[in-house]
Each structure stands twice: as C-alpha cells, then as structure tokens.
Amino acid sequence: MNEDLPFIGQKAAWEEWLAAIGSERMHHAWLLAGGKGLGKAAFARTAAAELVRAPGEHRPDPRMHPDIHILEHLPANDDEAKKKAEGKPYQTKRNISVDQVREMIRRLATKPTMGDRRAIIIDPADDMEKGAVNALLKALEEPPAGTYFLLLAHQPGRLLPTIRSRCRILRFAALEEHELDAVIRRDIPEADAETRRAAIDAAQGSPGIALSFVEHDLGSIHRLMMQILREGDAEYDLRGSLAEEMGGRPARDRQLATLELARTVLAYELPQASTARQRRLIEAHSALTVLSNQAPTYNFDAGLLIMEIGGLLASTAMPRETAR
C-alpha cells in the first residue's frame, strides 16, 4: 500500500528500511545517525508504523499503537507535565533515565499485542543515562523475538562501541535546497520567497534549522553571527546588537533555535578554514554543543547566554580578535 510520507527527503534511508522489512532476516537494532534537525524522529515513527502495520491496512498512528514504544525526554517536573498535557511548551529532564529503559524491558516479557512485531524508539539514544545504556545493552544482546530497536543519535560517537556494534547504521543526509523549500512551504506556507531563501542558506541542509529560522525570525541574528565570524567583535558592539535582537525575555525555544543556528554557521565555516582556525572552530562548536545540551533544562539568563554565543563566534573570527 502506497501512502504519503510525513517527512521530506531521506529517500535512500527509507528504501533501505523497506527492503529490510521485506527481507527474511531483518536486523533487530538500527542506529539512525545524523545531525540534529534532519528528520530522524519523523522517520523513526513512520518506520515503526510501517513495521507493525497489518497487511492491507493503513499505516497506524505511532503514538497510539500498543506495539510502538517511544522513550524520550520526560517533563522536568509535575508542573511541566501539566503544560505538556495542555499542549503547551514544556521543559524536559536532561536525560532518558534508567527507569524508563527498565520499564520498557519489563514490557518485552510479553508478546506484541496486535501482531508479531514490536518497535522500540529511543529518541535520542545519546541522551541516555549511563545506567540506561547498560540496561539497554542487555536487551540488545538478547532481543525478544519480533522486537526491533530504533536508536536515534545526533552524535553517535557518544554511544558505547558495544551499542553501536550491535546496530545496523542508517545514515541521514542533509536535504537538497528544493527539499528544504518544500519543507518550509508545507509547514509554514505563509513564509515569503525571501524568507525561505534566507532560511535555506542558513540551514545547510537541516529542515529543523530551516523551520526554526522562519518560525523565530532569525534573519537578523544570522546576519550578525556571520558578521562576527568575518570581522570579530573586539569592541563588543556586535554582541550588544545580538543581545538586542534576541530580546530581553525570549522564549526558550527561540534561545534553543539560536544555539542550533550558531552551531550550524560554525560547521559551515570549517571546511574552508585554515588549520589554525579549524581548531578554534571545533573548540567553539564543542562549547556550543555543551550549552545546547544544558539549555533545555538549565535556567540560563538570556542576556548572558547570547553574549556567550557571540563570544564563542568571535573567538573563531578571521582575523582573530585580540584576547582580553
């Protein structure tokens, strides 16, 4: 049965998944590897629905099917859980806990409910606690019949080699420009051509970055970031402008989108940089990655956060600004 897919791009990955489902011996664990914002979550949920659906029936809703289990970041506390239940933005816990994985493993003691296949999605697997990783490893070593794991990883290198070695890797590529344009047109149809063009240029193949660029109106912030990268910011003027563009009390989602955009512009600069500058770019990117991992759960001061982002960008500038 041919149905429309809820994600755009990743044709090669989808064809590989369909071929595996149709084979006699499908691998039990899959590592969906690629940068943040490439559509791995939508792919995994659709892949799981394709795996468990009955012959001749429509692909089920992965959030409602009893044989699809999704492990993801839980709300940070009871108040945040209420926000989630009301459909509002909410803060999450920093990691996927060992208790979540153990609860999943207990469910594996029973057979699938509606067929002979069951899917376990861990999103993202590189955010599991150490105890959760060890518990998962035991399940991967002796998987119950009909159980298939889909592990999403933005940074596969953070996973234990023993986890990676038990998984078949499904790599996610950056989207082409026309695919990014299609994503924006589908999800934010009111975006004009100029905005779409700017978002595509800034996103470097990531639909998640492109959508957040448009949704949070990051055009001016992006231009300032690029100016800092080119010129440095010895007098802190550009960092001040960056803080003004961010605003005094920005939403958390806007802060997270800005962090991801900063990481993207650094990654874009890396291939054409000199060896000395590449080291600075990598160091700044690593620092931004730490901030990105902490920001969803830590209550950072918005002004200090944007100044830190600007400072990291300035530290990579060419010519490099004088140290202070």
pLDDT-based confidence at residue 319 (cuts at 50, 70, 90): low
Residues 6+ apart with CB under 8 A from 186: 8
Asked if the peptide bond before residue 124 counts as cis, ω within 30 degrees of 0, the response is yes
Residues 6+ positions from 111 with CB-CB distance below 8 Å: 146
Take residue 233 and report the two structure tokens written for it.
């910011």
For residue 275, what are the CA distances in angstroms to 47, 232, 259, 263, 270?
41, 18, 24, 19, 9
- pLDDT tens-place string over residues 212-225: 999 999 999 999 99
Residues 6+ apart with CB under 8 A from 107: 69
pLDDT tens-place string over residues 265-317: 999 999 989 999 999 999 999 999 899 888 877 778 889 999 999 999 999 99
Peptide bond into 6 cis (omega under 30): no
Residue 321, pLDDT score: 45
Whole-number Å distance between alpha carbons of 57 and 43:
19
| pLDDT tens per residue, range 59-87 | 999 999 999 999 999 998 999 899 889 98
Structure tokens, 137: 């490893």
Closest CA to 89 of 81, 77, 78, 101: 81
Q: Under a CB-based contact definition with an 8 Å cutoff, are residues 170 and 31 in contact? A: yes
Residues 6+ apart with CB under 8 A from 213: 198, 199, 202, 203, 219, 222, 257, 261
Helix, strand and coil in the chain, % to nearest 5: 50, 10, 40
pLDDT at 283: 96
Q: Which amino acid would we find at residue 144?
A: P
Mean pLDDT taken over the chain: 91
Of 27, 102, 40, 37, the residue nearest 69 (C-alpha)? 102
The three-state secondary structure class of 123 is strand
Q: Is 122 helix (H, G, I), strand (E, B) or coil?
A: strand
Q: How many residues does the chain have?
A: 324
Better-scored residue on pLDDT, 294 or 17: 17
CA distance 257 to 210: 10
Over 70: is that where the pLDDT of 131 sits?
A: yes
**In this model, does residue 241 exceed pLDDT 70?**
yes
pLDDT at 94: 85
Q: What's the pTM? A: 0.85
d(CA 69, CA 120): 5
- b/e map 153-168, b = 16+ CB within 10 Å: bbebeebeeebbebbe
Position 2 scores a pLDDT of 54
Which percentage of the chain shows pLDDT scores above 90? 77
d(CA 161, CA 164): 5
Task: Report pLDDT for 6.
Answer: 85
- Is residue 101 a contact partner of residue 135, using CB atoms and an 8 Å limit? yes
- Tell me which of 30-39, 48-57, 314-323 is least confident: 314-323
Residue 196 has pLDDT above 60, yes or no: yes
| 109-124 residue pLDDT tens | 999 999 999 999 999 9
Please say whether the beta carbons of 100 and 137 come within 8 A. Answer: no
Q: Is the pLDDT of residue 324 over 60?
A: no
Q: What pLDDT score does 5 carry?
A: 86
Determine contact, residues 53/47, Cβ cutoff 8 Å: no
